[in-house]
Structure 1
C-alpha cells in the first residue's frame, strides 16, 4: 500500500500516541498537576519528580501531560472547525460563483491582508484573553486559507463532464456537492489541514505565552513557558519541559503532514 511505502505508518503511530496521551491525560499523570507544595518549589529533576517542579511546587511531568490535553485538543478542535467551515465556503463560492463568490472572497481577502499573529493578538486582547478568545481569534484568521484552497479546486470542476452528467441525471445541487464535489477535494484539503496542525499548536501556545490564551492555573504548554520564562537561568527545566513538548508535537504533526502530502496529493506525483 502507498501509505506503507511512503513511511507514513511510523508518524501515524507517533501522532496517535500523542493524541492518546492527550485524551487519557487525567489517568496518566503520576501526581495531581494542580497540587501546590511550596516546600519543594523549583526542585530539580529527580526520581520522584522526573521533570522537576515549578515555582509552586507542582510536578512538571504531570502538568506537561495534562497540558497536552489542553493544547492538542484545543488545537485539533480548532483545526477541524476552520477546515470544515472554510472548505464549505470555498465549495459554495467555487460552484455557484457570481455575487456570492465576490462578496465572500473579498471578506476572506480582508482577513488574509493582516499578519496572522498580529490580528490574533489584537482580537484575543480585545476579547479579554482566555482559551476561548484565543481560539476564536485564530479561527477568524484561519478559515480563508481553506476557502481559497477549496474554491481553487472546485472552479475547474463545476464544468467537468461528470458534474454535467450529474446535472443531466436530475441531481440537485446539495447532492452534487456532497456526492461528487466534496469527495474530490477531500484529499488536498486534508493535506492542507495536516500541514497546518503544527502552526496552530504554535500559535495557540504563543497566545498563551503572551497571556492571551489559557489562564492560570490551567495546565497549557504556552502558559507554562510564560510562567517559567523568568527562571530560564536559575531553573531552566521549568521552561524546557513544556518547550520540548511543543517542539516534539509540532515536529510529529509536520512530518505526518509531509507524508500525507506524498500519499494523497496527486498534484505532487
Structure 2
C-alpha cells in the first residue's frame, strides 16, 4: 500500500512539473523559439545571399539596400545572412557543450551521489581538480593550443561543463536518496540501474535542465569572446563574436556592424537566462 501511495505521489509531482504554461515561461520560450527558427529556417526560406563570398564592390551598403535588408559588411557579405548563420554556430556550440556536460557530468554526479563511499570520493576529488583551474584562462590556453575551429571550441568549453553538471547532479541525488520512495524501491529488490533510470533520473532532470538553460547563455557569451579574440569560430565563417570584432574596426563610421550581432547575442543570452531562472523558481515551489 505504501509503495502504491508513493507511486501516486510521484505521478502527481510529475503532472505538477508539467504545468509550465505560465506567462513567465511561455514568453521567453516563444522568443527563444523565434530566435532558433530564424537562425536555422531563415536562411532556407528567406531570399538572402550566402554569408561568405560577397562582392567587395558592394561593401558597406546601408540597411534596406536592395537585396540586403541589414546592409553589407566591409567584404560585401550580407549582414542579415551572417547574423543568422552566426546564430547557428553559437547555438550549436552551446547545445553541444551542455549536452556533453549533461550526459557525462550528470551521469558521474548521479553515480557518485547514489553509490557513495570511495566511488563518491574518487569522482568528486577528480572533479575538484578540474574546478580548481581558472576556467577562463585555461579555456583560452586550450583554444590557443588546439587552434580555432567549432569542434575545438566545443571541446575546450565542454571540459569545464562536466564538473559543473556533476556537482548539480550529485547534490540533487543526495537529496533524493533520503526520500521514502528511493528506500521503497531498494527494499523491493529493484536493480540499481533501474532505480537510477526510472526513479532518480526523472526527478533530477528539472535541476539539470534549468542549469543547462542557464549554461547555454554562459557558453554563448564565452564562445563569442573566443571568436572575438580569434580563438573560436575562424573567419570568414560567421559568428557573432568575430562579426563584432570585424565591426569594431570601423565602429565610428559604421556602428551597425557591431549593433546587429551584439543585439542578437544579447537577446539570445537574456532569453536563456530568463527562461532558466523562471523554470528554476517555478519548480522549486513545487
TM-score (norm 2): 0.87
Per the alignment, residue 14 of structure 1 pairs with: 31
54-63 vs 257-266, greater mean Cα deviation:
257-266
- How much does 1:262 deviate? 2.4
199, 212, 227: which is aligned to 1:180? 199
Q: CA deviation at 1:6?
A: 4.8
- Choose which of 28, 47, 62 in structure 1 pairs with 2:65: 47
Q: Report what 1:148 is aligned to.
A: 167
2:271 maps to which of 252, 260, 267? 252
Root mean square deviation of aligned Cα: 1.8
The equivalent of 2:257 in structure 1 is 238
- Distance in 1, Cα, partners of 2:98 & 2:251: 32
Q: More displaced, 225-234 or 172-181?
A: 225-234
Distance in 2, matches of 1:114 and 1:6, equals 40
The 8 Å contact of residues 217 and 272 in structure 2, kept in 1 or not, is answered as: yes
Matches of 2:32 and 2:60, distance apart in 1: 31
Deviations 1:186-241 (CA, angstroms, capped at 9, x unpaired): 11111111222211110111111111111122111112112222111122122222
2:88 to 49, 69, 73: 69
Which residue matches 1:35? Answer: 53
Gaps of 5+ in 1: none
The question of whether the paired residues in 1 share the 8 Å contact of 2:71 and 2:79 is answered with yes
In the alignment, is the contact (CA less than 8 A) between 2:93 and 2:153 conserved in 1? no
- 1:223 alignment partner in structure 2: 242
CA contact (8 A) 2:96 2:154 kept: no
- Map 1:188-227 to 2 at 5 A: 188-227=207-246
Uncovered stretches (5+) of structure 2, i.e. residues with no partner: 1-15
Q: Please give the per-residue CA displacement for 1:118-171, whole angstroms capped at 9, x wherever unaligned.
A: 121111111122111111111011111111111111124334322222122121
How far apart in 2 are the matches of 1:23 and 1:96? 42
